């Protein structure tokens, strides 16, 4: 539970994903059920799927800047004069 509280203090995307795995693990321990690797992996995957769209929403802008950076570099000498 100390690791979960550290994840809550950090509140970053990686901390949220790790916290999901830790919570699923601790839930299985409390319920005294068999701890399956697949169950914890599923919890981590679900948490990651919630975090990924937050980073992909601005990907179009970054991609446009990346694609046009060379063109701006070539046109820069023409724009100076």
User: For the segment 21-43, what is each residue's pLDDT rounded down to a tens digit?
Assistant: 999 998 888 888 888 888 899 99
Domain chopping of the chain, boundaries: 2-80
Q: How many residues does this entry show for the chain?
A: 81
User: For the segment 5-24, what is each residue's pLDDT rounded down to a tens digit?
Assistant: 888 888 788 899 999 999 99
Distance CA 45, CA 6 (A): 20
**pTM, entire model:** 0.63
Using only C-alpha atoms, the chain has a radius of gyration, in whole angstroms, of 22
């Amino acid at each position: 539970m100390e690791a979960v509280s550290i994840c809550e203090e950090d509140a970053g995307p990686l901390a949220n994903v790790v916290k999901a795995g830790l919570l699923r693990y601790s839930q299985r321990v409390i319920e005294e059920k068999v701890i399956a690797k697949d169950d914890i992996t599923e919890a981590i995957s679900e948490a990651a799927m919630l975090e990924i769209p937050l980073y992909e929403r601005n990907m179009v802008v970054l991609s446009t800047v990346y694609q046009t950076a060379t063109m701006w570099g070539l046109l820069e000498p023409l724009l100076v004069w």
